[in-house]
């Protein structure tokens, strides 16, 4: 399962703590939802899916949902994390998604040679998505940056190169059939 942290600001920490306490004390949910220290834990061992345990906490006006309790511990930040931390304090909604890292967990799902080629093509042409949203007047504006490592010098060339690669893959398949 990919390691992640989802966080959003709140002006009412007590509200979220009451919700989490309610979930932890409910007869039906208390088997899977519990509290240990400042953290609430949701465990779903029966499902067998990708998410078997989630952690929740409220700290300093921020509600956290994460895959590991260690995600909230202070560690040395990378430049990317430092930039996102600064933007998360400035913008009501901001985030970063490294699609390359997300695809790492999908290796086992692609089994046939055709599926592996598709995954390799996707992996070669995806990168990191960074976004920030703010309210301006009566509108909401979102800025998104999509960064692809080792790609073309500009976005137009990226799309030309992508279509060229798709064309070459199709031509390769045709020649294999003949």
Nearest to 50 by CA among 3, 101, 89: 3
Beta bridge partners of 9: 62
Q: How far apart are CA 148 and CA 150, in angstroms?
A: 6
Q: Which residue has the tokens 């390691």?
A: 3
pTM value surpassing 0.85: no
What pLDDT is stored for residue 14 in this prediction?
92
- The Cα–Cα gap between 1 and 118 comes to 21
Q: Is the dihedral of CA 103, 107, 108, 114 positive or negative?
A: positive
Measured distance CA(79)–CA(91) in Å, rounded: 18
Residue bearing tokens 């931390």 = 85
DSSP 64-81: EEES-GGGGS--PPPHHH
Longest dimension (CA), the chain: 68
Following DSSP, what letter does each residue of 1-37 receive, concatenated? ----EEEEE-S-HHHHHHHHHHHHHSTTTTTTEEEET
Nearest Cα neighbor of 43 from 34, 51, 53 is 53
- Is the separation of the CB atoms in 171 and 132 below 8 Å? no
Say what the pLDDT of residue 18 is: 93
* pLDDT tens over the chain, length 178 residues: 567 788 888 889 999 999 999 988 988 888 888 888 889 988 876 655 556 788 999 988 888 888 887 777 766 667 777 777 777 778 888 888 888 877 877 777 778 887 787 787 777 778 888 888 888 889 999 988 887 776 666 777 777 777 787 777 777 767 766 6
What is residue 177's predicted lDDT score, i.e. its pLDDT? 66
Residue 123 makes CB contacts below 8 A (sequence gap 6+) with: 100, 103
């Amino acid at each position: 399962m990919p390691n992640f942290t989802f966080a959003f600001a709140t002006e009412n920490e007590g509200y979220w703590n009451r919700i989490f306490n309610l979930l932890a004390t409910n007869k039906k949910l208390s088997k899977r939802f519990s509290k240990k220290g400042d953290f609430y834990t949701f465990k779903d061992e029966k499902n067998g899916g990708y998410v078997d345990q989630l952690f929740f906490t409220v700290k300093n006006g921020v509600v956290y949902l994460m895959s590991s309790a260690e995600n909230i511990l202070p560690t040395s930040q990378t430049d990317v994390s430092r930039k996102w931390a600064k933007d998360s304090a400035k913008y009501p909604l901001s985030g970063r998604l490294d699609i390359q890292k997300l695809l790492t967990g999908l290796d086992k799902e692609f089994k046939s040679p055709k599926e592996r080629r598709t995954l390799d093509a996707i992996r070669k042409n995806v990168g990191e998505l960074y976004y920030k949203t703010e309210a301006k007047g009566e509108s909401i504006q979102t800025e998104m940056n999509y960064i692809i490592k080792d790609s073309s010098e500009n976005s137009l060339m990226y799309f030309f190169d992508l279509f060229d690669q798709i064309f070459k893959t199709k031509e390769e398949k045709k020649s294999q059939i003949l």
